[in-house]
Every structure is written in C-alpha cells, then in structure tokens.
Amino acid sequence: MSGGGISCGVEGRVWGISHPGGREENEDAFLVLPLGDGYLLAVADGLGGHSGGELAARTAVETLSEVFEENYREELGETDVERLLRMAYETAHRRILDASKAPGRMGTTLVSTFVRNGKAVIANTGDSRACLVRDGKIIARTRDHSVVQGLLERGVIGEEEVKRHPMRHVVTKALGVDLEVDTYVWEMRTGDVLVLSSDGLHDYLDDGIIEKLTMESSPKATAEALIGEALKVTEDNVTVVVFREV
C-alpha cells in the first residue's frame, strides 16, 4: 500500500492491510498467520500515545502468534482453541502492564480468530470488531467494549447517534488497562466473509458499504476497497483483515 500502509495475506483466501490514515504514526497492528489446518487472524488498535500504543498493539499480536505457534496442535477442539486465545490475551495483558510500569499508561484493543473447518473461534477485548457477512448481509458481529455501546444498550442513544457521538472512541476494556475477553464460535459456509477491523474503519463506514464491498471481490480486493472507502472519511489509523470461506 502507498502512503505508509502495509499489507500481506494468502491470495484468494485472506488479506490484511493497515494504513496510518491521516496520522504520522500507525498504532494499529494485524496478524495473518496460516497455522496447521487453519488461519490465525487478529487486529489490534493501540492506546496511550504514539510509542505506547504502537508497542501495546505489537505486543498483543506477537504474543498471540507466539502462544499459538508454541501450543496449537491440529487435534485440539474448539474449547482448547478458546483456551489458547484466552491464554494469549492474559499473557499479552501482563506483558503490556510490565512494559508500561503502571496500569492504564498504555493498552490495546484486540480482536482475533482462529478459523478452520468451517468454524471461527473468536475472542475480543475493546472496540476493534469482527463481523460475519453472508449473502451480502452482516449476520453476526462482536460486541464492542465501549462507552457508546453501553449507552446504546441502555437506550440512552439510538443507532443513528453512535457514529457521531463525541465519546465513540472511548473503550471500557483493553489489554494493559482492564482485561475482559468475550468469545464466540461462528459457523461459516462457503462464500461467507469474515471481516476484522479497527474502529478507524467500522466507526466511519456504514454496514451497507461493508456488505456491498464484501460480496464478490477477492479478499485482497475487498480489503483494498474497504481501506480506500475509509480513507475518504477518516483521519484515524485504519486496519482490516478479510477472510473468505471456500
């Protein structure tokens, strides 16, 4: 990618892109790792200033990769994979705390998944997000750990207010700050598309745009199109990983 962005993936199956957007530094990080019979994918969005946020996000994805490369075996079941995800989050949380010297000085969101045999085991902390698109419609998504999500669930604000709310970027849970991990297991059918993104993308693009851009293109073309659309309307760092079930 031009303009300081980075991209990588497996052509025809999965592609990830991270772009600094309108900022000098990129505090986002992502992971695309073929591993055994599956793929380990992740997006992290660092908090706490340029150097601290970048370090936290990088620590999160590197720890996730390390835990799986050291412990994953193809005979492990879904519960075991979920356990590895939680282990990785807890380990990364401790490492970020150790590096920051004080709770909350730096942190990161982290959404990740291990996909194999038509199933995605997902873990999430913060407001980076995973969504599952089937036949051009988002049918599932992770729950954000954010102030606006809490306001929405309590009926204080409506859906139409979320994207313009002044506190839309304030997270309530993060690695290195206050750890809480939600897990999900999603069934995937042939043609389904899994999208992992930082809030620089999904806070600025409507669901309809995301749905449209995932319908027929390859993962690489979809990722490039999503980043391109987001860069028209955001100054934030923007990161996306797109996986297509075949």
185: domain CATH number is 3.60.40.10
State pLDDT tens for residues 214-243: 987 899 999 999 999 999 999 999 999 999
- Contact status, residue 241 vs residue 224, Cβ threshold 8 Å: no
Whether 233 maps to a domain, the answer reads yes
**Closest by CA position to 186, among listed 245, 101, 103, 106:** 245
**Residue 1 in domain:** no
Q: Is residue 184 scored above 50 in pLDDT?
A: yes
For residue 160, is it within any domain?
Answer: yes
Does the residue 92 lie in any domain? yes
Judged on CB neighbours under 10 Å (0-12, 13-18, 19+), 10 is middle
- Residue 63 within a domain: yes
Question: Using CA atoms, how far apart are residues 21 and 5, in angstroms rounded to an integer?
Answer: 8
pTM for this entry: 0.93
Residue 162 has pLDDT above 50, yes or no: yes
- Alpha carbons 59 and 44: distance in angstroms, whole number: 10
Confidence of residue 51 (pLDDT cuts 50, 70, 90): confident
Other CB atoms closer than 10 Å to residue 198's CB: what's the count? 31
Q: Which of 237, 240, 242, 241 is nearest to 3 (CA)?
A: 237
- Give the C-alpha distances (Å, rounded to integers) separating 14 from 20, 39, 175, 243: 21, 9, 26, 4
Q: For residue 142, what pLDDT is reported?
A: 98
Between 120 and 166, where is the model more confident? 120
Q: In what order do the strands lie in the sheet with 14-19?
A: 6-10, 14-19, 238-244, 193-197, 129-134, 137-141
Average model confidence (pLDDT) for the chain? Answer: 91
Mean local confidence (pLDDT), 53-77: 97
Domain count, the chain: 1
Q: Kindly report the CA angle at 179 between 154 and 172, in degrees rounded to 5? A: 35
**Domain contains 42:** yes
Domain assignment of residue 231, yes or no: yes
pLDDT grade, residue 100 (50/70/90)?
A: confident
Residues above pLDDT 90, as percent of the chain:
80
Segments forming the whole domain that contains residue 151: 6-244
Q: Quick one: pLDDT at residue 216?
A: 79
Inside any domain, residue 144: yes
- Rounded average pLDDT over 203-223: 94
- The answer to whether 151 touches 157, Cβ cutoff 8 Å, is yes
Q: Is the pLDDT at 53 greater than 70, yes or no?
A: yes
The C-alpha atoms of residue 198 and residue 204 are separated, in whole angstroms, by 11
Q: What is the rounded distance in angstroms from the CA atom of residue 173 to the CA atom of residue 152?
A: 17
